[in-house]
Amino acid sequence: MKIYAVLVIYNQHLSDCPSFYSASKESDVQLLVVDNSTDELFQNQEEARRAGAWFLSMDGNQGLAKAYNAAFDFLRCKNGDWVVLLDDDTEIPKEYWKELQKAKPDSIQLPIVKTIREQMISPAEIRFDLPRPAKELNAIKEITGINSGMAIPKNLTDSYRYDERLFLDFIDHQFLKDMKNKGIKICILPVQLRQRFSADQPEKSAALVRLQIQMHDLSVYYQYAPWKYWYLVIKRKIRLALQLRSPEVLWYG
């Protein structure tokens, strides 16, 4: 079975990415690194080459949707069974690859992803087209999930294009919605990944830039339902204001 793993990296050294280490050690996995870095300090091409990985430079941060489209274009004429999407801050155990080898490539596979605080962030569920954490896996009525560790049958990536108006957020939810509309089955892969977030207390200016990106992407995703956009934006602003202890965040943007 042939597995392609796509790792999009941004202003980080490959040596600091646990998912890079995991995928590069698997003989049945061909890794493709897509580099969105803007800082010349991060020169990852040579490290990717030494690990036997393919490398694509996006010549700056073009966003996640464009990076995934570039990866799918690169892989389109290549034979294989799976395309796995990897985050640079996710720990991938060896059991993940073993379980994926057992799965038949006729459905999308979502692993169980938890934070270091044991909060499950994927799979999640959809209620009224709003994603929310799932309390129990067997209680999910309409499933969704995040990109990290998502395994997609290769034939589906050959014909799919991400909406490049989405820069970073809700790309995963849009993809899974599109797949469900096509009748593609989504299954849970019985293995657990660990997501490492860079900081629980982000630096304010970076957090505001991140909020601006979220607001843009939410406006695209919920262009048909403005109230859902405002519901999530206000919710995220309140959370960030409390996290930063900065009430002025509520009026940002």
Please indicate, yes or no, whether residues 23 and 146 belong to a single structural domain of this protein. Answer: yes
Instruction: Quote the domain boundaries for residue 242.
Output: 204-251
**Helices of type H across the chain:** 18-24, 45-50, 64-75, 94-102, 154-157, 171-181, 204-221, 226-244
Residues 31 and 53 in one domain: yes
Give me the average pLDDT of each 10-residue run along the chain (253 residues): 96 93 95 93 90 96 97 97 96 97 97 94 96 92 97 97 98 98 97 78 84 97 97 96 93 88
| pLDDT given for residue 199 in this prediction | 45
Distances (CA, A) of 218 to 67, 129, 166, 206: 19, 12, 8, 18
CATH number of domain containing 41: 3.90.550.60
Tokens of 143: 């499933």
Same-domain pairing of 224 and 188: no
Separation of alpha carbons 31 and 50, rounded Å: 12
pLDDT at 23: 95
Lookup: tokens for 100: 């994926």
- Do 130 and 212 have their domain in common? no
Is residue 163 domain-shared with residue 216, that is, in the same domain? no
Total count of domains within the chain? 2
Task: Look up residue 218 and give its amino acid.
Answer: L
12 and 110 co-located in one domain:
yes
The rounded distance, in Å, linking the Cα atoms of 44 and 26 is: 20
